[in-house]
Structures are given as structure tokens and as C-alpha cells.
Amino acid sequence: MASNVQELRPKGSDSEKITINLGYVDLGHIDLLVQEGFYANRTDFIRTAIRNQIDRHGDAVRQAVTRKSVDLGLRHYSREDLEAARDAGQTLHIRVLGLASIAQDVTPELARDAIASVSVLGALHASAAVKAALADRMR
């Protein structure tokens, strides 16, 4: 299953939309930098600032990823992955920093039988029924 792990940089539809509130002075500074041509737009500035902070704390992130045994990037769980775990009498502990996705053909029953816990820093894509079935196992 580890072969399904890959590092990714969100682009276009592979991203999650967030909303932030900024003070008028900070917003003015951003607009000035955009106007002066340093950034294409406000979003470009904010993405760059976030990436710079992530890079700045890179060592701490790498240590935490190792310590917490999380998969970094994109991790997809297919129906076959979950059936194999269940049939082997094992349960999965899903720990992902990035995007964890559970296939749309996974039933809530199979998810409960195969998944012991879910901890995602980023986003979890799964059907509403599977998310509801795993609600008590999410951290």
C-alpha cells in the first residue's frame, strides 16, 4: 500500500478553498505588492507566503511526520485495499498529511470493518455515508 504515496503540490482542482480575514493594513500591503508587480494577485501572494512559512519550518514538519508515522502527500484507499485488510484480519490506521481519499465504491460497512482510525491533516475525500460511518474514529 505504501507505493500509493506521493508528494504533491496543490494546483487547480487539487486544492481546498479556505477563507481568511485580514486587517485593512495587511490587505493594503498585499495590494501594493500586487500593484508593483511582485505578485500576480492576492492569491499568488498568500500561497507564496504560506509556502515560505512551511519551508521555514521544514525540519520541524519532517520530524513530526516521522514521529507521527504519517503519509505525506496523496493517499488513496481503494475498495480492494480495504477488503484485503479486512480479509487478513487487520484494521488500518489512516494517518495522512495532505489528501486522503477513500474510493466511492467503498461501503460504510467495509469502511468500519477495515479502518480503525482516521487522522488527516489536510483533506479527506470520501462519500458522505463513509464519513458518517467513520465519524467516531476520526481524530
**Residue 103 placed within a domain:** yes
Q: Is residue 16 part of a domain?
A: no
Residues 20-73 pLDDT 10s? 999 999 999 999 999 999 999 999 999 999 999 999 999 998 898 888 889 989
For 67-109, what is each residue's pLDDT tens digit? 888 998 999 999 999 999 999 999 999 999 999 999 999 999 9
- In terms of domains, do 48 and 108 share one? no
Instruction: Report CA torsion sign: 33, 38, 44, 45.
Output: negative
What local confidence, expressed as pLDDT, does residue 78 receive? 97
Per the structure, the count of domains in the chain is: 2
User: Do the beta carbons of residue 122 and residue 16 sit within 8 Å?
Assistant: yes
Q: Is residue 1 part of a domain?
A: no
